[in-house]
Amino acid sequence: MTLRIRGVALPEREERTYWIDGETLRTVPPARAAAKQVETVVDGGWLLPGLVDVHTHPGTEDPDTPFDEALLRRHLSAHRDAGVLLVRTPGTKGRMPGWVDTEPDLPRVRSAGRWLATPGRFFPGVGRDIEEGELPEAAVEEATASSGWCKIIGDWRWDEPAVPLDVMRAAVAAVHAAGGRVAVHCQTAEGSRNAVLAGADSLEHGMHLDPELLDLMAAQGTALVPTLSAFARSAERWQRREPSVKRSHWLDGWRGTLDNVRLAHEAGVTVLAGTDSFPCGTVAAESERLAQAGMPADAALGAASWTAREWLGLPGLIDGAPADLVAYDKDPTAVGASGTLGRPKRVILRGRVVR
């Protein structure tokens, strides 16, 4: 059986017909289609490359919960059912199992191995606890043992120093020399600055990021993953607290993060959608928050679809691409279409209709 798909493809907004040849997307009928039955599984509507969550932690839900493969499957299934067909896991309690990127019914996974935490900069015992001098070697080990990514905790408490710039530079340089990429957790001005100046591949959160660094980020290809959904919930709690220096500092960082989404996009920085929260499968809401923060609707959608896929090394809806796509009855960027992105009418993963 050959599957056929018709609809308006995004981001091009062109009427197109695709065929699925095994796990591959084709723009012309495969030769065997003429001799076999063809089934049209999508006929009209809007087509997107599978959604992407570039900052999610399936397999555990809090610092006290051990990593669990059954929970990992449930979390990845929730992503899939929402149309999220590719995820990046920037940090886990344990290394991902060997099956994680090849299960036919679960999203593709790009892992960054275990969180790398230098003294005083993470939940004790949750990540891989190392000394600052061990960071470059450990970063290469995690990158080569995963999907080519490693995750460094660049800072932690708001009033304590970040990983020193020279240490961060050495770690990023070592991983790049090994062909890997580096994600950095940063929630302070110093931590964000050091990650950018070190040439990190992505800033996770990026609170208190100096907007004067945005041009450098764009020039060197450092992406911003602001995880607005997770921080919005924290902002509500901070608003209810009694006034304090810490409260003012946190809320200033939150307001700056919102402003930086628009400024980063305008500067040419790749801004991407990551949830860093539970339940899994809510990246559509993160895309909407990016739009509310000032990104154009198409760019905010791309941050959770074609832009994120390209950034992670996978193409969109082109000939020869993996047959991972989602279909909708109406344009998910249209005015009044809030919530549409999280409710696809059809989900196709690895060439199979899974919903």
Please report, for the chain, how many H helices and E strands are present, in that order.
10, 16
Q: What is the dihedral of CA 84, 86, 90, 92, to 10 degrees?
A: 80
173 and 322: one domain? no
Q: How far apart are CA 218 and CA 224, in angstroms?
A: 10
Residues 243 and 129 in one domain: yes
Strand partners, 202: 183, 223
The reply to whether 132 and 18 lie within a common domain is no
141 closest CA partner among 112, 165, 98, 168: 112
Specify the pTM.
0.96
pLDDT at 1: 79
The domain spanning residue 289 has which CATH number? 3.20.20.140
CATH number of the domain enclosing 339: 2.30.40.10
Distance of CA 243 to the CA centre of its chain: 34
Q: Please check whether residue 309 lies inside any domain of the structure.
A: no
Structural domain contains residue 226: yes
25 plus 80 within the same structural domain: no
Structure confidence at residue 114 (pLDDT): 95
Is residue 139 located within the same domain as residue 232? Answer: yes
Question: Is 112 found in the same domain as 77?
Answer: yes
State whether 326 and 250 are in the same domain. Answer: no
Residues 6+ apart with CB under 8 A from 249: 158
Could you tell me if 63 and 33 are in contact, meaning their C-beta atoms sit under 8 angstroms apart?
no
Q: Is residue 275 part of a domain?
A: yes
Q: Are 318 and 350 in contact (CB under 8 A)?
A: no
Going from the C-alpha of 188 to that of each of 172, 208, 273, the distances in angstroms are: 19, 5, 20
DSSP string, 120-181: TSSSTTTSEE--GGGHHHHHHHHHHHTTSEEEEE---STTS--S-HHHHHHHHHHHHHTT-E
Residue 254 to residue 277: CA distance in whole angstroms: 17
Structural domain boundaries enclosing 14: 2-49+315-353
Does residue 175 sit in the same domain as residue 62?
Answer: yes
Do residue 149 and residue 279 come from a single domain? yes
Residue with tokens 């080519």: 148
Helices (H), the chain: 69-81, 135-145, 165-177, 189-197, 214-220, 228-240, 245-267, 283-292, 297-302, 306-311
Cβ–Cβ < 8 Å for 203, 224: yes
Q: According to the model, what pLDDT value does residue 94 have?
A: 79
Same domain, 194 and 338: no
Verify that 28 and 74 share a domain, yes or no. no
Write down the pLDDT at residue 32: 67
Q: Which two tokens stand for residue 347?
A: 């989900």
pLDDT score of 336: 64
**Domain for residue 158, yes or no?**
yes
Q: Going by C-beta distance under 8 Å and a sequence separation of 6 or more, which residues neighbour residue 123?
A: 63, 117
Per-residue pLDDT 10s for the chain (355 aa) are 789 999 999 999 999 999 999 999 999 988 766 656 889 999 999 999 999 999 999 999 888 888 999 999 999 999 999 999 999 999 998 789 999 999 999 999 999 999 999 999 999 889 999 999 999 999 999 999 999 999 999 999 999 999 999 999 999 999 999 999 999 999 999 999 999 999 999 999 999 999 999 999 999 999 999 999 999 989 999 999 999 999 999 999 999 999 999 999 999 999 999 999 999 999 999 999 999 999 999 999 999 999 999 999 999 999 999 999 999 999 998 866 678 999 999 999 999 999 8
Residue that is written with structure tokens 């995880």 in the block: 227
Residues 111 and 30 in one domain: no
> Collapsing DSSP states into helix, strand and coil, what is residue 71?
helix
| CA–CA dist 309, 337 (Å, integer) | 23
How many domains, in total, are found in the chain? 2
Look at residue 310 and tell me if it is in a domain: no
For residues 76 and 280, what is the distance between their CA atoms, to the nearest angstrom? 8
SS3 content of the chain, % helix, strand, coil (to 5): 35, 25, 45
DSSP helix/strand/coil, 269:
coil
241, two tokens = 């607290």
